[in-house]
A = this chain, B = another copy of it.
Amino acid sequence: MTDHSRRQVTLDEVAERAGVSRSAASRVINNAPHVSKAKREAVQRAVTDLGYVPNATARALATQQVGAVVLAISSDNPQVFADPFFAEVAVGVNSVLEETELELILQLATSSRGQTRLEQLLRTRQADGVMLMSMHGDDPLAQLAEKSDVPVVFGGTPTNFEPQYYVDADNRGGARLATEHLVATGRRRIATITGRMDESAGTARYKGYQEALAVAGLDAGRVVYGDFSEEGGGQAMEQLLAEHPDLDAVFVASDQMAIGAMRVLKLAGKTIPGDVAVVGFNDVALARHTEPPLTTVAQPIQSLGREMARMLLALIAGESPTPLILPTRLVQRASS
C-alpha cells in the first residue's frame, strides 16, 4: 500500500503535481465542464499518483451540504431495538445509500439527550435529510420534523397527523387479508387482540379486521386491546376467553402477542387450530417455530427501508415523490 496516508493530500497538491490551477483540478474532480482533455488527464493521473481523496468536511462547508442523512428512531422504549425490525430497515436504507456519496447517521432518540439532539438536528440542518421512524403515535418530534426545513420522510405514519412524505406497510390490508382468510376457512366467531392504539400500526390493523368482518357480515365485537407484548397477548387472550367463550378464531395484531395467546389457549385446553384458529402479524423468525407454526402477515421490512431512502433522495433532489404503501402478504402455516 502506498504510504501517502500519513497527511491528507490536498487539492492544491494535486493541482501543483498536475501543473494546473486549483480550480481546474476541482473541476476535474467534480467532473464539471470547461477543462481541456489534456489537463483533465493530467489531473487524473496526479490524483491516482497521490492517492487524493477529497476532504468531505471542507466540501460540506463550501457547498453547504452535509453529505449525510439521518435514520432516526424515536421511541420511549429502548427495548424496541431488540426487534430485528430495526436492523432490517437499516439494511434496506443502507443498500440504496451505498449507491450515493451520502453517509448514514444513526440517531436513536430514546433518552431525552437523544431527543434533544434530534431536535437540534432538525432545527439546524446538520444533515441533508432525515428518515424518521416514530414508534409511538403522538411523538412531538414527529410534528417538529414535519415542520422542519430539512427534508423528512416518515417510516410508518404518526397517529395524529398525516405527514407529507412517508412510506408505510399496508397494515390495514394485511389485517384484512388475515381476517378474510379466517372467514374463508369457515370461522364465524372471530375475535381480535389489537396492538397499542397509540401506534398507527395498531389502529390500522384493527380497522382491517373490522372491514373484513363487515364485508362478511360477521360480528366484530370480540375485541380486547393489547400492547404488542407477549405478556399482554396472554392476558388479552384470557380476557377474551372469559368474555367470549364461543370464539373459534382470533386475529392477533403481532406475533409476540400471538405467542402469548397460544400459550393461554393451550392452557385452557383448546386445540389450535381445531378449536381456535390463530393468525399473527409480522412474520418474525419465531413464527416458524411455534407449536403449531403460526400463520401470520409478513411485511416487506427491507423494502420499507429501501423506499424510505429512495424517497428521501428524491426529496433532496428537489422532486416531490408521492407517499408509498407497501403490500403485505399472508404466510399460511398450521395455526389456522
Contact = CB atoms under 8 A, between A and B. Distances in A.
Interface of A: 1, 4-6, 8, 51, 53, 55-58, 60-61, 66, 68, 71, 78, 81-84, 86-88, 90-91, 94-95, 98-99, 103-108, 111, 113-114, 117, 120, 123-126, 144, 147-151, 259, 285-286, 289-291, 315, 318-320
B99 A113 contact: yes
> How many copies of this kind of chain does the complex include?
2
B125 A8 contact: yes
A290 B289 CA distance: 7
A86 B91 CA distance: 11
A39 B147 CA distance: 34
Given A8-B125, A57-B61, A78-B91, A1 B106 contact: no
Nearest to A87: B87
A217 to B, nearest CB: 37
**Which one of A57, A87, A105, A319 has the highest number of Cβ atoms from chain B below 10 Å of its Cβ?**
A57
**Which one of A124, A148, A291 has the highest number of Cβ atoms from chain B below 10 Å of its Cβ?**
A124
Q: Which 9 A-B pairs have the closest CB atoms?
A: A87-B87, A53-B124, A57-B60, A94-B108, A6-B149, A81-B91, A84-B84, A104-B106, A57-B61
B56 A126 contact: yes
Given A1-B144, A84-B84, 12 more contacts: A55-B124, A57-B66, A81-B88, A81-B90, A81-B91, A84-B87, A90-B108, A94-B106, A94-B108, A94-B114, A99-B113, A286-B289
A87 to B, nearest CB: 4
Contacts of A104: 105-107
17 contacts: A4-B149, A4-B150, A4-B151, A5-B124, A8-B125, A55-B124, A57-B60, A78-B95, A81-B87, A82-B84, A86-B87, A98-B114, A104-B107, A285-B285, A286-B286, A289-B290, A291-B291
